[in-house]
């Protein structure tokens, strides 16, 4: 099973903004210090220096590094070797072989956000140093030559290709016993849409959802937290199962092992 236990709300923070590090870490369940897209090329050296000087709990820090095939990747990893941070999020992960050859001191969250990365998700998830998969919609659509991951309808739901990628990454992670992290919701003001997607992520089996703004954290946490009625049902059905063998009826519903596993997941998420 996955060694990844952080969640449900993971908050991105630009690595060149050390003034925000502590606040981001305090607000979310873990902070993702971003050396990739959030930092302009001319600011990456300063961002690496900020990482070295930061004083955060390494257990609650993820560092998003640049893609393996980029010029910045080696500098990112050399910087992290001077810190206690040992959990990286690999941007644009595509090559299972190259991921397997990374420094074994580091746990890898593979960000499958290109067509090649999504197609290779199963093989990436199988690598021993990979503890979780995440997917990304905008880079994925860009890698296909597209222009938008969402429809133009009022509800702005994902296009089919993005929904397929989301499902494939979740399935690949689950098949390998690894955690799955849902993509960011870019429209900060769309609280309703974020809540809908986070609730779906929790019900579908994602471990966490990434956030790009502190205001999104509480919405994500609430979406992953079972409501009182659901939690009560889960505890009651598990208690009833302790005196039963095989399939049994509870509150008008037939209960078997898959349903009990759902109940256990609900209780674990509440705890």
Residue list for the binding site for substrate: 64, 113
Binding site for Mg(2+): which residues? 113, 139
**To the nearest 10°, the Cα dihedral for 6, 10, 12, 17?**
-70
Contact 157, 150 (CB under 8 A): yes
Alpha-carbon separation of residue 81 from 84, 99, 220 (angstroms) = 7, 17, 32
What's 216's DSSP letter?
A: G
Residue with tokens 């296909």: 144
Find out whether 48 and 75 touch, Cβ atoms under 8 Å.
yes
Q: 241-267 burial, b for 16+ CB within 10 Å, e for fewer? A: beeeeeeeeeeeeebeeebbeebeebe
Q: What gap in Å lies between CA 199 and CA 187, rounded to an integer?
A: 17
Strand partners of residue 253 = 250
Annotated binding residues, as ranges? Answer: 64, 113, 139
Do the beta carbons of residue 3 and residue 214 sit within 8 Å? no
């Amino acid at each position: 099973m996955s060694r990844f236990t952080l969640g449900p709300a993971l908050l991105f923070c630009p690595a060149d903004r050390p003034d925000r590090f502590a606040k981001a870490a305090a607000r979310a369940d873990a902070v993702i210090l971003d050396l990739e897209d959030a930092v302009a090329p001319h600011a990456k050296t300063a961002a690496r220096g900020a990482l070295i000087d930061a004083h955060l709990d390494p257990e609650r820090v993820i560092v998003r590094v640049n893609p393996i095939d980029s010029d910045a990747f080696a500098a990112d990893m050399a910087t992290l070797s001077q810190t206690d941070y040992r959990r990286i999020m690999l941007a644009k992960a595509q090559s299972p072989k190259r991921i397997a050859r990374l420094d074994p001191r580091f746990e890898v969250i593979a960000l499958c956000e290109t067509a090649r990365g999504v197609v290779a998700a199963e093989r990436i998830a199988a690598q021993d140093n990979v503890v979780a998969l995440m997917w990304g919609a905008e880079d994925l659509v860009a890698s296909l030559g597209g222009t938008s991951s969402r429809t133009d309808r009022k509800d702005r739901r994902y296009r089919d290709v993005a929904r397929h990628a989301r499902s494939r990454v979740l399935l690949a992670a689950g098949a390998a016993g690894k955690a799955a992290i849902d993509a960011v919701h870019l429209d900060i003001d769309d609280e309703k849409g974020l809540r809908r997607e986070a609730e779906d992520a929790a019900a579908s089996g994602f471990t966490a959802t990434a956030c790009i703004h502190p205001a999104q954290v509480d919405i994500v946490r609430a979406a992953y937290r079972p409501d009182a009625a659901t939690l009560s049902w889960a505890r009651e059905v598990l208690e009833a199962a302790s005196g039963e063998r095989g399939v049994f009826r509870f509150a008008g519903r037939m209960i078997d092992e898959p349903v009990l596993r759902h109940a256990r997941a609900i209780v674990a998420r509440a705890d």
